[in-house]
Amino acid sequence: MDLESRNAAMQSDLDNLTPASLIKRNQNPESWLPAHPRYSLESHRDTINCIAFHPKYSSIASGSDDFTIKIWDWELGELEMTLKGHTRAVRDVDYGATRGGILLASCSSDLTIKIWDPADGYKNIRNLQGHDHIVSSVRFIPGGNLLASASKDADVRLWDVTNGYCVKTIQGHTGWVRNVYPSSDGKFLLSTGDDMTVRLWDISSKPENKLTMIGHENFNECCAIAPPTAHQYLAPLAGSKVSGGSTAEFMATGSRDKTIKLWDARGTCLKTLVGHDNWVRAVVFHPGGKYLLSASDDKTLRCWDLSQEGKCVKTLRDAHESFITCLKWAPGVAKNSDPAAQGQNSENTEASKGRAGDSSPDVQIRCVVATGSVDQKLQIFAG
């Protein structure tokens, strides 16, 4: 029966593609979309809340309600190690290339943020404390040593990871801030949460609330800034042929109201994408720019074609046995380079490009997507 249902799913995939587009898709990573998991990785003893890809190597970190972080090799489908230290659920993880090298950050319901050093066997080198409630999101800001965090205390904080000091507290939200997302150049930060607003902050000097977007009808779970490669597809929705050139020109948000909204830099909602039957938990722009991927508590992954005004062109049903909590796309890798010989500059460039899913000529798209779920499984989709 498993084989029959798998064959049916594969046949359905084939039916949706003409032979010409099938050949093109196989050749072109810019139009690759996830289909069937290569690996289903199990070791966590509770819900997986978050995942993050290493910017250079084939490592992926997952954080769970079981208080642990697990480091896996997504290429081999093997567990590498388990990191213990948090005393409550791990809510988010993120890799970032700082001036001191690539680090892993994690945050937890235990109110702390921990910094781990992958080059030193993932030693816990720093603990950041200051939030008064659950810390729900952490993201490294490209191009420096800053880390952004969001919390149920309604604050967004910026930290210097070299010394562990909180350098800025950003206030404006009136409820739990669930997610933050930096622009690829590190100038802007997007945040969203239970006050149903989406806020864009200019963090290049003194943080200021550049934009507040209102429109969702329930708590917002996730947000993302579109990479430059997506601007050509989103600009027509905004009524222009070209974008304004900002690194935070277009944004996407997902909400418990079951919808995804696309926004422009003026704060206008360009489009509401309807299709999920439950909370939208994660949104990710395809590095090629043409698609937006989303994950939901309805157990589906959906692929929305931005060149067709956000039409849903692919749905992966029952990708997990329960709610899908997180979704990530592997960062791109620098072309014509030996990973072992890459210098610090390439790490910084790569991390900043990979985060926003940029597809620059010197960065090769990796056709690897991962999802985590309440079913305690980490699924790896690879082309």
| 248 closest CA partner among 266, 273, 221, 270 | 266
> What is the percent of the chain where pLDDT is above 70?
85
Q: Span 266-280, mean pLDDT?
A: 97
pLDDT at 5 over 90: no
What is the structure's pLDDT at 13? 60
pLDDT at 9 over 80: no
Residue with tokens 């049916």: 8
Domain presence at residue 1 = no
Least confident residue range of 98-102, 167-171, 206-210, 271-275: 206-210
Domain presence at residue 24 = no
Residue 241 class from Cβ within 10 Å (0-12 exposed, 13-18 middle, 19+ buried)? exposed
Copy the structure tokens of residue 189.
Answer: 């930060």
Task: Write out pLDDT tens, residues 135-177.
Answer: 999 999 999 999 999 999 999 999 999 999 999 999 999 999 9
| 187 closest CA partner among 243, 148, 235 | 148
Distance CA 297, CA 300 (A): 7
Domain presence at residue 35 = no
Count of domains observed in the chain: 1
pLDDT at 113 over 80: yes
Distance CA 283, CA 77 (A): 24
Give me the chain's average pLDDT, please.
89
Parent domain of 376: 41-364+371-382
What is the structure's pLDDT at 4? 63
The count of residues in the chain is 383
Least confident residue range of 105-109, 288-292, 320-324, 362-366: 362-366
Residue with tokens 């040593």: 145
> What is the percent of the chain where pLDDT is above 90?
80
Coil/strand/helix, residue 56: coil
Task: Write out pLDDT tens, residues 34-56.
Answer: 999 999 999 999 999 999 999 99
Domain presence at residue 113 = yes
Task: Write out pLDDT tens, residues 351-360.
Answer: 344 444 444 5
Domain presence at residue 22 = no
pLDDT at 376 over 90: yes
Domain presence at residue 23 = no
pLDDT at 185 over 90: yes
- Its pTM stands at 0.88
pLDDT at 25 over 90: no
pLDDT at 350 over 80: no
Residue 267 class from Cβ within 10 Å (0-12 exposed, 13-18 middle, 19+ buried)? middle
What is the structure's pLDDT at 218? 98
Residue 176 · residue 197 · CB < 8 Å: no
CATH of the domain at 353: 2.130.10.10
**DSSP H/E element including 15:** helix 2-15
pLDDT band of 132, cuts 50, 70, 90: very high
What is the structure's pLDDT at 341? 37
Domain presence at residue 109 = yes
Task: Write out pLDDT tens, residues 312-349.
Answer: 999 999 899 999 999 999 999 887 654 433 333 333 33
Task: Write out pLDDT tens, residues 201-222.
Answer: 999 988 888 999 999 999 999 9
